[in-house]
């Protein structure tokens, strides 16, 4: 019985770490993958580096062509920021 009580704090620590660190990160990762797969031509997006543009072409290898003020550039879909793009496309409130 004393052996179980000795391991109880360690077990609780791992449970808390899973609930507050690992699980939310896995959920966010799934949301980002879903967002990257749902991108379509004509969507206005912002990359993680801050480039604003519009999707011109999508390729099956995970890349896309974005048109910005600087011209056309090819990016990985994973380089598009889910949070910033959703804020950009959110309806404006008056």
Q: CA 27 to CA 89: how far, in whole Å?
A: 22
70 and 86 together in one domain: yes
User: What pLDDT is stored for residue 55 in this prediction?
Assistant: 95
For the four alpha carbons of 23, 24, 26 and 27, in that order, the dihedral sign comes to positive
30 and 66 together in one domain: no
Does the pLDDT value for residue 72 go beyond 90? yes
Q: Mean pLDDT over all residues of the chain?
A: 90
Q: For the residues 77-86, what does the mean pLDDT come to?
A: 90
Copy the structure tokens of residue 87. Answer: 């804020």
60 and 72 together in one domain: yes
Q: CA 28 to CA 41: how far, in whole Å?
A: 24
User: What pLDDT is stored for residue 86 in this prediction?
Assistant: 85
Copy the structure tokens of residue 45. Answer: 């997006």
88 and 64 together in one domain: yes
The 10s digit of each residue's pLDDT in 22-67 is: 999 999 999 999 998 899 999 999 999 999 999 999 999 989 999 9
Structural domain that includes position 49:
40-94
Return the DSSP state at 43.
Answer: -
């Amino acid at each position: 019985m004393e052996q179980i009580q000795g391991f109880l704090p360690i077990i609780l620590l791992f449970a808390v770490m899973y609930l507050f660190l690992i699980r939310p990160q896995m959920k966010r990762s799934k949301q980002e993958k879903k967002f990257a797969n749902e991108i379509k031509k004509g969507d206005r997006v912002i990359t993680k580096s801050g480039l604003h543009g519009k999707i011109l072409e999508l390729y099956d290898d995970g890349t896309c062509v974005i048109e910005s003020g600087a011209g056309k550039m090819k990016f990985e879909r994973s380089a598009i920021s889910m949070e910033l793009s959703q804020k950009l496309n959110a309806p404006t409130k008056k």
